[in-house]
Amino acid sequence: MSMGWSSARKLRRSVDGLTRVLAVELMTAARALNLRSPLVPSPATGAVVALLRDAGVGGPGTDRFLAPEIESAYQLVLSRAVTAAVVDTIGELA
């Protein structure tokens, strides 16, 4: 029996996990940028932060249930909206 099917399923789970990790990293980086105020990020980074905020992913604040914000960030990464925001700001990536 081929192990290709099993390997493909494991790869799919790995990619999904990586997408979730990237979403959490984006949220964390965006919050860190808020804490560095009045310093401003580069235009591309600012576009990604604005995208997150427009999607309901809040900045630092009171304790709250983060699962909905993580899901919003996950969907932005999954749909490649984050990459599109960067490309729209600075042009094609190498």
Which pTM was predicted?
Answer: 0.87
Q: Can you list the alpha helix ranges (DSSP code H) found in 1-94? A: 4-35, 43-54, 67-78, 81-90
Q: Where are the domains of the chain?
A: 4-90
**Greatest pairwise CA separation for the chain in angstroms:** 60
pLDDT the model gives residue 3 = 86
Task: Read off the pLDDT of residues 48-90 as tens digits, 9 standing for 90 and up.
Answer: 999 999 999 999 888 999 999 999 999 999 999 999 999 999 9
Q: What was the pLDDT predicted at 68?
A: 95
pLDDT, tens only, 2-43 = 788 899 999 999 999 999 999 999 999 999 999 998 999 999
Q: Which 8-state DSSP code applies to residue 62? A: S
CA pair distance 76, 68, nearest whole angstrom = 13
